[in-house]
Amino acid sequence: AAILSTFPYAQNFEAGTLVGLAGWSFATANTTVIEATSVGNPLGAYHLKLDNVGSGAQTATIALDLSTQVGATNLELDFWMQALGATSPSNSLTIQLSGNGTTFNTVSQAANFYPTTLGQYAHYALDLDAALASTSVTIDNSVYIRFSHSSINTYQLTLDDIRVGTADVFGPRITSQAV
């Protein structure tokens, strides 16, 4: 069984290595590479780079213990992402969720998306409890969040400052205005 990371969770990859990251697992296909690196303008000293040397896909999965959040309606996943090589569907990220670490379901609003500005970080957030409900994953002692990078050629994505918590990361929104 995977070692579960506790809630709330934050990872900025500042250790400069993927060795010993509790709760994380990584998978690569073909000639792809996943690494913590300082190359490519990280937000701090290091970030997670999903690097496609040829063609294929990589996944980075975090296993979380959300047993203290059963019934929660305010969970957020947020992270920063930048594209290197291309900003297109040919260099995209998909977020998938699982309750057992084996069967993953794609979050429809987080499928095949990508930053629109090359080499510049953009901030993303996901209403995690709503996404878990939409993928039929129960909030309990084991929830798995998979970042799946798909690419052709030598395109890369980098991720940094990944957080799971209850913070409203973008703050209040105006939904209507009466004059």
- pLDDT at 135 (0 to 100): 94
- At residue 128, the pLDDT reads 94
> Looking at residue 3, what is its pLDDT?
67
CA distances to 63, 105, 154 from 38, rounded to whole Å, are 25, 32, 18
Residues 44-74 as b or e (16 or more Cβ within 10 Å = b): eebbbbbbbeebebbbbbbbbbbeebeeeee
What would the DSSP string read from start to end of 36-104?
A: EES-S--SSS-EEEEEESSSEEEEEEEEE--GGGTT-S--EEEEEEEEES--STTEEEEEEEESSSSS-
pLDDT of residue 140: 84
> What local confidence, expressed as pLDDT, does residue 51 receive?
85
pTM above 0.95, yes or no: no
The predicted pLDDT at position 2 comes to: 60
Walking along the chain (179 residues) 10 residues at a time, the average pLDDT comes out as 79 93 87 87 93 76 93 93 84 92 91 86 93 92 91 86 88 76
The per-residue pLDDT for 155 is 85
In this prediction, residue 46 carries a pLDDT of 96
